[in-house]
Structure 1
Amino acid sequence: MSGISSAAGSAAGSAAEDAADLELARAGDAAAFTRLVAPLRGELHAHCYRMLGSGHDADDALQEALLRAWRGIGRFEGRAGRASLRAWLYTAATRTCLDAVEHRGRRALPVDLGPAAERVVLDAAPATEVAWLGPYPSRADPAERYQRREDVELAFVAALQHLPGNQRAALLLFEVLGFSAAEIADLLDTTAGSVNSALARARRQLARTAPDRDRQPAPDGPAARAAVAAYRSALERGDADALVALLSADATWSMPPLPHWYRGRAAVAAFARAVPFGRCPSWRTAAVEANGRPAVACWLGAAPDAPHTAWSVTVLGLDGDGLIAELVSFLGAEHFAAFGLPERY
């Protein structure tokens, strides 16, 4: 009984603190507003990422959404409770993301843009005219994982980019975040009928483009750990045969922002031998998690004893036998900061 009483007292104290901070925020206290928002920032950021497909865009959208919320805090008429504040902040975040979606094209992966390359392409130039999907780091602390891992899974987020903004928002708010159709209608300033129609269209599209969101093994499970360890070892030892042995028969490898990608063990093996093993003298690696999957951060050096600089974050997809069925290498040092990784190793 003492534990129940303590929990109830803590909840009551938190509600009272929220109510006090809400009144202070309405009176112009920015610190109070920051305290109100702090417990919700993580899940709001993940929502912006799912809407926009980019961690950098999610940063900008969340900043703009919170600025809009701060400017409008005096007009907030909801209760001081966390649920009411959460809905209000999701309104600001979703509308900000919809504005962003309206002004740029969808983000993509190389597999969305054309067929696999028939031969290894050397010295390929980045496709700068494409808005590329970006990786999203998993939370290091399980207590801070505001989303189920499948809700930021790479294939799911990529499939979302094929949906119009209103369908994307309705689907995420309903199926991922648990808002009702009536609540979503209020949030999007539309009708429940329109929301239900958007949900039906979104589900049909995702049934065609998204695989089962639960099919990937846990990124911290034994199969994932073994695949990551073997991949890292092969890359750091320069052992192309060992890496090829990890691949499934229908494996794919893509490297945004390079537009070319490869399908099938033979094609992926040819690329691996020609480029990461044939042209890259030395690798250092670290295990990370991205988009609910195991991933490997890679630093490239001119020699084993030379400085190594940030090169890519490679997200792995595994099949039911623990073989690597998909590699998506997000090239660029700009991805490393979000994972808390240095640019030099």
Structure 2
Amino acid sequence: MTRADVGIEDLEALRVPLTGFCYRMLGSAADTDDAVQETLARAYRHLASFDPARGRLSTWVYRIAGNVCIDMLRGARRRALAVDMGPAAENGDLGAPLPAFRFVEPMPDARLFGVTDPAEQVVGRETVRLAFLAALQRLSPRQRAALVLREVLAFSAQETAEILESTPASVNSAVQRARATLAADPPEPADVLDPHDAQQRELLDRYVAAFQAHDVDALARLLREDAASSMPPFAWWLSGASRIAAAMAASDACAGDRLVPTAINGSPGFGQYRPGPDGALRPFALILLELRGGRVAHIVTFLGTAGRFTEFGLPERLPR
């Protein structure tokens, strides 16, 4: 490839992998969109300065993306999951909602993965899990970038050094420190979504059937004893199958709701639709399930996400 051969289509071909990189760095869907757009705009404006003889186009573009993300993270507060914000609730009092920037936000798999190799898809899904993203937030921006570039996106130490305008030794040191930080408090394990796994499909089908029938006993049987349930933007969360079942039984707010499957952060997800005054089913919330050992380990209901349903390939309304 010569400089003259590079065009806007070559930059656009990097949009999906850039989205994955920026999302792992920022933990925010809206910020990721801004970062990717700014990266591609800067790359296009400065395309004449790209020299193929000095390295790959991807390395050059990721240097721009790294600078954009690190600039956006200056002074930013660490995003987290509700389960990381404090102890589990003792009752149903949700408290006041927190600002959106306090939480790791959901992202559709369709925007994050452009690979077709099953092994690469497994690795990709594991590294966009909510718990992994929340763990990345504990790292400094440069450590986060070094770890993602080296161990998720498979750039060499030399390429990563070029992207971060550093040295291979500094990159390796940053990766080692990042690994040590993550190992000291590793993310909770979960089963990666496998659309071809018959047992996973059966579990999810049973969950949908029990949810839509508002069958609390059936739902409780699908939960691990140590299951958690959270509802961003509230810091409130519940621990334990019995407490979650009791909360479900105490309210019929979800009676009549329907679930439509999607894939969120490498995990099974659903669009939750709720009947309106006219009976039409409209978007209400995105739900992510984390599975472990053939049971549901974590239910995350993202309230206030009705406006993002089309982004997840979900219809704007369902027939009655």
Q: TM-score scaled to structure 1, two decimals?
A: 0.83
Aligned amino acid, residue 306 of structure 1: G
The answer to whether structure 1 residue 308 and structure 2 residue 281 are counterparts is yes
Between the aligned partners of 1:105 and 1:62, the Cα distance in structure 2 is 20
The 1:210/1:336 distance shift into structure 2, 3 A limit, reads farther
The answer to whether structure 1 residue 37 and structure 2 residue 18 are counterparts is no
Aligned amino acid, residue 314 of structure 1: I
The 1:337/1:129 distance shift into structure 2, 3 A limit, reads closer
Please tell me whether the aligned partners of residues 285 and 301 of structure 2 are also in contact (alpha carbons under 8 angstroms): yes
Please tell me whether the aligned partners of residues 24 and 133 of structure 2 are also in contact (alpha carbons under 8 angstroms): yes
Which residues in structure 2 correspond to 1:43-54 (within 5 Å)?
A: 43-54=17-28
The answer to whether structure 1 residue 119 and structure 2 residue 119 are counterparts is no
Q: Counterpart of 1:139?
A: 110
For the pair shown, the structure with the greater C-alpha radius of gyration is 1
SS at match of 2:127: helix
Q: Counterpart of 1:205?
A: 181
Between the aligned partners of 1:62 and 1:130, the Cα distance in structure 2 is 18
Identity of aligned residues (%): 40
Shift of 1:207: 1.0
Please tell me whether the aligned partners of residues 280 and 302 of structure 1 are also in contact (alpha carbons under 8 angstroms): no
The answer to whether structure 1 residue 342 and structure 2 residue 315 are counterparts is yes
Q: Counterpart of 1:325?
A: 297
Q: Counterpart of 1:279?
A: 253
The 1:251/1:339 distance shift into structure 2, 3 A limit, reads same
C-alpha distance after superposition, 1:276-310 (max 9, x if no partner)? xx22342011111111111121111247x711221
Moved more, 235-244 or 141-150: 141-150
Moved more, 136-145 or 280-289: 136-145
Number of matched pairs: 311
Aligned amino acid, residue 325 of structure 1: A
Shift of 1:141: 11
The 1:337/1:88 distance shift into structure 2, 3 A limit, reads same
Between the aligned partners of 2:228 and 2:272, the Cα distance in structure 1 is 18
The answer to whether structure 1 residue 74 and structure 2 residue 48 are counterparts is yes
C-alpha distance after superposition, 1:182-214 (max 9, x if no partner)? 22222111222221221111001111233376x
Q: Counterpart of 1:100?
A: 72
Gaps of 5+ in 2: none
Gaps of 5+ in 1: 1-14, 26-31
Which residues in structure 2 correspond to 1:146-295 (within 5 Å)?
A: 148-211=124-187, 215-220=190-195, 221-275=197-251, 278-295=252-269
Q: TM-score scaled to structure 2, two decimals?
A: 0.89
Shift of 1:130: 4.6
Between the aligned partners of 2:314 and 2:246, the Cα distance in structure 1 is 30
Please tell me whether the aligned partners of residues 283 and 301 of structure 1 are also in contact (alpha carbons under 8 angstroms): yes
Between the aligned partners of 2:280 and 2:140, the Cα distance in structure 1 is 45
Q: Counterpart of 2:30?
A: 56
The 1:141/1:334 distance shift into structure 2, 3 A limit, reads closer
Between the aligned partners of 1:295 and 1:67, the Cα distance in structure 2 is 32
